[in-house]
Chain A
Amino acid sequence: MKVQLILNGDDLALSGGPRDSLFAVLQQRAGLFPERVCCEQGDCGRCHILLDGKEVPSCLIPFFQVREQEVVSPEGFQNTEEYRQFRALLEEEGLVHCTECTEVQIFHLFSFLEQFPQADAEECRLAIGEIPCRCGSKPVLERGARRWLASRPWPVVGREVPRGHH
């Protein structure tokens, strides 16, 4: 089966089986997520992508579901200005690059802060804890998250939902 999608800004068609996960296809057919130890069960965060702007585990998404959707992988995010700014801020806080999880952490934390700009310190701490990490990068990421949110021009209090007649 061929599925048309936009991957990291490029229009393309990828082939895969009807029961394949998006992760399997991105890894096998698009050369993404190389040599990463991944759980493929939704636990580790190492396969996360942005699907139409929202961070999701690609290992749990059926491949067919991304038809005509926009997918951004950590590799695609690394080519953006936002990535450079966010990474620079984390480096100022003491980020040390580790091949194991740094890129995954940056992608995850940035996506989380974009989606929940009203997150408090505890919510940021929990989000950072979602990616297993052995090197102790969490305090750096927590400080970075606080600074990034504080640098936003105004506080966001949550998204109001439309009113209906119940």
Chain B
Amino acid sequence: MDTIEIAQPLLYGPRTLSETLAFLLANPGSQLIAGGTSRAAEAPVAVTLHLLDDLKRITSGDRSLDVGATAPLSALLSLPDTQIPVVLKEAIRTIGTSGLRNLATVGGNLCQKGTFGDLFPVLLLLGAQLELRGQRSSRWVSFQDLAEQGRLSLAAGELLTKIRLPLEQPGLHFYQKIGSYRTSWEEKLSMVCLASPKDGLLSRFRLVFSLPQLGLLRSRELEAELTGRRLPLPRQERDASLARLADFLAELPILPSVFQTERILHLSRWVLTRLDDD
């Protein structure tokens, strides 16, 4: 392992995963730096992951894609569309600039403190899983479990090492982000929708919104209600679904801002109309 500096902060640059995990176990308060773009709080001891080549690797299996946690976002954009769900590429393109995406990592996006990075809702709907490793443990966690817990919590000494996502392309996908990284929370949200129309029926429908102050918003009732419906959806059915969505939003313990509520309803209407078109 390289010790990069002796003064504060102590910066460590391990070259293998086992060195990293041993170091994290012995120094539980240390700050991990992947791409370093989120400029997380500065701790007296920092560990940079940029020398761990194994953790940058992307490999493709028959039905899934394994993405090393420190793969830069741009590495996923370079893959042909047959090797990655296109909706994930669309979400990545909205993050920062092309230069930033060469630095920012997939794992760093998912492990940001206090917020779900923009890739989280997309990976959730795609049915992805995370590999978390400690020196004496290794576990796979689904994004679904994390969404239910409301955050990604790592045990002391644990590292996100890999993201595994199924390679199946949804029939239709919609991704929209409103506001940018620096927009205030009241005017920011993103939406991911995956849908599969088959033989005139909506065989699968998943819709999630991500709001900075609330995390993920997903109405299972709406999804269940629309799944199996015949397409095109008659206008009254569409309006009734949107009315129920409005009720769902109004009953949340923490309310979205007026701007966010309007956009959620507007985007949902847009998606339901597009299902009819396609």
The chain A residues found within 8 Å of chain B, CB to CB, are 1, 18-19, 42-43, 45, 48, 51, 54-57, 60-62, 64-65, 67, 108, 111-112, 115-116, 123, 126-127, 130, 157-166
Tell me the bound Cα distance from A39 to B33 in angstroms: 22
Within 8 A of A (CB), among B62-110: 62-66, 72, 74, 77-81, 83, 93, 96-100, 102-103
- B7 near A1 with CB under 8 A, answer yes
Query: A160 — which chain B residues lie within 8 A by C-beta?
Result: 60, 79-80, 83
Cβ-neighbour of B98 out of A60, A65, A130, A166 (below 8 A): A130
Main secondary structure of the interface of B (DSSP, over half): mixed
Q: How far apart are A79's CB and chain B's nearest CB, in angstroms?
A: 21
Query: B36 — which chain A residues lie within 8 A by C-beta?
Result: 60-62, 65
Decide yes or no: A164 and B66 within 8 Å by CB, A42-B97, A61-B36 being known contacts: yes
Q: How far apart are A157's CB and chain B's nearest CB, in angstroms?
A: 6
Cβ-neighbour of B103 out of A57, A108, A130, A161 (below 8 A): A57
- B97 near A57 with CB under 8 A, answer yes
Cβ-neighbour of B61 out of A57, A64, A166 (below 8 A): A166
Q: How far apart are B44's CB and chain A's nearest CB, in angstroms?
A: 11
Tell me the bound Cα distance from A92 to B20 in angstroms: 52
- A56 near B102 with CB under 8 A, answer yes
A-B contacts, 9 of them at CB < 8 A, read: A18-B4, A19-B42, A56-B99, A61-B103, A64-B11, A130-B99, A162-B57, A162-B59, A163-B59
Decide yes or no: A54 and B74 within 8 Å by CB, A18-B9, A159-B79 being known contacts: yes
The chain B residues found within 8 Å of chain A, CB to CB, are 4-5, 7-9, 11, 33, 35-37, 39, 42, 48, 50, 57-66, 72, 74, 77-81, 83, 93, 96-100, 102-103, 164, 182
Query: B50 — which chain A residues lie within 8 A by C-beta?
Result: 65
Tell me the bound Cα distance from A162 to B83 in angstroms: 11
Contacts A60-B100, A166-B164 aside, 10 further interface pairs with beta carbons under 8 A come to A1-B7, A57-B103, A60-B103, A62-B33, A115-B102, A116-B77, A130-B97, A159-B78, A160-B83, A161-B79
Cβ-neighbour of B93 out of A45, A57, A62, A126 (below 8 A): A126
Decide yes or no: A18 and B99 within 8 Å by CB, A65-B48, A161-B59, A163-B60 being known contacts: no
Decide yes or no: A158 and B97 within 8 Å by CB, A42-B37, A60-B37, A60-B103 being known contacts: no
Query: A64 — which chain B residues lie within 8 A by C-beta?
Result: 4-5, 11, 48
Count contacts between A and B, CB distance < 8 Å.
110
Query: A161 — which chain B residues lie within 8 A by C-beta?
Result: 58-60, 65, 79, 83
Closest A residue to B82 using CB positions: A158
Cβ-neighbour of A165 out of B61, B80, B93, B102 (below 8 A): B61
Query: B81 — which chain A residues lie within 8 A by C-beta?
Result: 158
Closest A residue to B180 using CB positions: A43
- A55 near B99 with CB under 8 A, answer yes
Tell me the bound Cα distance from A161 to B11 in angstroms: 32
Query: A158 — which chain B residues lie within 8 A by C-beta?
Result: 78-81, 83
- B96 near A42 with CB under 8 A, answer yes
Q: How far apart are A43's CB and chain B's nearest CB, in angstroms?
A: 8
Tell me the bound Cα distance from A97 to B46 in angstroms: 43
- A45 near B97 with CB under 8 A, answer yes
- A157 near B5 with CB under 8 A, answer no
Query: A165 — which chain B residues lie within 8 A by C-beta?
Result: 61
Query: B80 — which chain A residues lie within 8 A by C-beta?
Result: 157-160
Query: B78 — which chain A residues lie within 8 A by C-beta?
Result: 115-116, 158-159
Tell me the bound Cα distance from A64 to B59 in angstroms: 29
Closest A residue to B11 using CB positions: A64
Query: A56 — which chain B residues lie within 8 A by C-beta?
Result: 99-100, 102-103
Query: A159 — which chain B residues lie within 8 A by C-beta?
Result: 78-80
